[in-house]
Amino acid sequence: MVDLIPLVMFFIICLFFMAGFPVAFTLAGTSLLFAGLGILAGVFEPALLGAIPIKLYGDMTNMNLVAVPLFVFMGVLLEKSNLAEDLLGNMAELIGGFRGSLAISVILVGALIAASTGIVGATVIAMGLISLPIMLERNYDHSLATGTICATGTLGQIIPPSIALVILGDVLSSAYQQSQLSIGNFSAKTVSVGDLFLGAIVPGMILVFGYVLYVIFRSHLNPSLAPAHQINESNKGTLKLVLKNLAPPLLLIIAVLGSILAGIATPTEAAGVGAMGAVLLAISKRKLNKKNLTEAVQGTTEITSMVFMILIGSSIFVLVFRGFGGDELITSIFSQIPGGVIGIVLVVMVVIFLMGFILDFIQIIFILIPMIGPIVMAYGVDPIWLGIMIAINLQTSFLTPPFGFALFYLRGVAPPEIETISIYKGVVPFILIQLFVLLLLAAFPELVTALPNFIYS
């Protein structure tokens, strides 16, 4: 019975999550409560709690995590200063007025905004407020419009540079080192955030390309779903339009990502450049004022505080979980799963998919990856491939009715005439696209690993 304590603690924490209790305080409070009861029962070593301050100090001095508030500020400022709204309008004018062009613009611009923030809720809400009224005004089908916005909002999980990939890369790196030590490999290669960024490029492009193809196919199959619209005659000078309005934000994101991939800057340094670049961009466009700067700082503070409070809570949880022998329990369970490493990865993916119904990306990274990551990677699973599979898996979970987070966020900002069933129907094709990409990456892992191996070879 004592051996099952880690699982009991985990399930009780999940019950608290579903009851609506704050994630960070639930993790820390429940874990410390179990540790106290374990000490009284003589089944938990009190000295382990002494490692909590050391672990937290290591987390707080982790330079990779300094990139989190900087990347968040970059994305929030682009949203608050209405640069995202301008970008959407300019992209639509550049692409043209054919059927489905506005939805394609939403996908392309949404991918850029999602990559800047990496927070599903922020991106879906922003794109819902910006693009949904325009799409409805142009008589777009409700399901196609809402499905496009929801799917685009989740792209921040997979398209670099996003804070989700920054955090996932840091946690995966620690988990991979632990997995290699457990099998006696003391000179294992390191896994960096840049590796994960490179690994995400091809899958991210496949997803965006798949979304665009679907919109083109549906709009031409049934023209009434996505009517064509007239292009503003004053914007026919496309070169001027690109240079003046589209190039600056695109160059900003390319510079941030490129500096990391080229090894010129660390993720933290690149995030600092991105944050300053967003400020300069807002100033050059005359979009920066006290109101949106204040809102951007407040939004950044809220999101960053949430991330680091969850980090603290999850660190305490993982420490207590291991103190009760949770690692040995999970290893024992995994060893009994049929199908070897394929069966283990499949079970992990199903568990993560289901957890995506009650936890967001950052919470799952901090809670589940330290628990299962070292064990899975000890079987020889590539850490970069595993990270990208997890990211797309959660992206699919956040879209899946009836519990997907993206659906709730869009429902909150959509007008009353948009029925919930329309949102559900709209996301189904995009879910199928993402499942296809997951199967594609499972069959051809080289789609993830080839680019990092080539660049760093």
Q: How far is CA 364 from CA 199, 227, 405, 423, in A?
A: 20, 40, 14, 25
* 291-339 per-position pLDDT tens digit: 888 988 998 888 788 888 888 888 898 889 889 988 888 888 888 888 8
Q: Which DSSP string do the residues of 13-64 spell out, in sequence order? A: HHHHHHTT--HHHHHHHHHHHHHHHHHHHT-S-GGGGGGHHHHHHHHHT-GG
Instruction: Give the burial class of 12: count Cβ atoms within 10 A of its Cβ; 0-12 exposed, 13-18 middle, 19 or more buried.
Output: middle
End-to-end Cα, the chain, rounded Å: 49
**Mean pLDDT, the chain, as a whole number?**
84
* 102-130 per-position pLDDT tens digit: 899 889 888 877 666 666 666 787 778 77
Higher pLDDT, 253 or 223: 223
* 10-55 per-position pLDDT tens digit: 889 888 887 878 878 898 999 999 999 999 998 898 988 888 888 8
pLDDT at res. 256 = 82
The Cα 441–Cα 120 span in angstroms is 22
Model confidence at 237: pLDDT above 60: no
Q: Which of 160, 158, 254, 250 is nearest to 211 (CA)?
A: 158
pTM over 0.85: no
Model confidence at 235: pLDDT above 60: no
The Cα 184–Cα 192 span in angstroms is 21
The Cα 173–Cα 302 span in angstroms is 26
In this prediction, residue 192 has a pLDDT band, given cuts at 50, 70 and 90, of confident
The Cα 255–Cα 241 span in angstroms is 20
pLDDT at res. 120 = 66
b/e per residue, 361-387, with b = 16+ CB within 10 A? bbbbbbbbbbbbbbbbbbeebbbbbbb
Of the chain, the percentage scoring pLDDT greater than 70 comes to: 92
Q: Which of 274, 147, 195, 122 is nearest to 454 (CA)?
A: 195
The Cα 455–Cα 453 span in angstroms is 6
